[in-house]
Amino acid sequence: MAVVKYLTPEGKKQLEDKLNYLKTVKRPEVVKKIGLAREFGDLSENSEYDAAKDEQALVEGQIAEIENTLLNAVIIKKSNIDVSKVSVGTKVKLYDEEFDEEVEYNIVGSDESDPKRGFISNESPVGGALIGHKVGDNVVVHTPNGDVRYKILSIGV
């Protein structure tokens, strides 16, 4: 069973831009490297050729992965988000009991996750634990470093 990938419109645009870069800039660069490496002669002992072919495989793999993600992703539109409970696309303000502070997270799909900027994946321990909860709920998140307790203060977009 395939895992559903969620993207915001912004995340979709970022992936489309990356795909365009890989196809129009990176792919031609790698093809050029392969051509130059072929000029060095015997391909069986040509480390430049091997490295260029490895890079080509990596770029082609990235292209295929992004194309597959874009083809199968569910695009989350702010106008369709139900803010009565935490879901992908919501912004959640929490009270962290341990540190006696408020924190704010944007719940996004795994391809857009950037915890340092407050974008956490719905597949992460915190994101997964919050999904489906409402304002006022107390949520316990089980992490490798122990349980973390949050109270949901607000949900928005």
The neighbour count for residue 157, using CB atoms within 10 Å, is: 14
What CATH number labels 79-156? 3.10.50.30
The dotted CATH code for 6-75 is 1.10.287.180
pLDDT given at position 122: 92
Q: Is the pLDDT of residue 2 over 70?
A: no
pLDDT tens readout for residues 110-136: 889 999 999 999 999 999 999 999 999
Q: Kindly list the domain boundaries of the chain, sorted by start residue.
A: 6-75, 79-156
Which has more pLDDT, 45 or 96?
A: 96
**More confident: 79 or 139:** 139
Q: Which residue has the tokens 């502070």?
A: 101
Mean pLDDT of the region 48-54: 91
Q: Is the pLDDT of residue 3 over 80?
A: no
Closest CA to 117 of 136, 104, 134, 126: 104
Q: Where is pLDDT greater, at 42 or 92?
A: 92
Residue 4 has pLDDT above 90, yes or no: no
**Whole-number pLDDT of residue 60:** 97
Q: Determine the average pLDDT of the residues in 53-75.
A: 95
**pLDDT-above-70 percentage for the chain:** 97
Q: How far apart are CA 126 and CA 7, in angstroms?
A: 18
Q: Which whole-number Å values give the CA distances from 49 to 43, 61, 136, 151, in the listed order?
A: 7, 18, 60, 56
Does residue 1 carry a pLDDT above 60? Answer: no
Predicted pLDDT of residue 79 = 85
pTM for the whole thing? Answer: 0.75
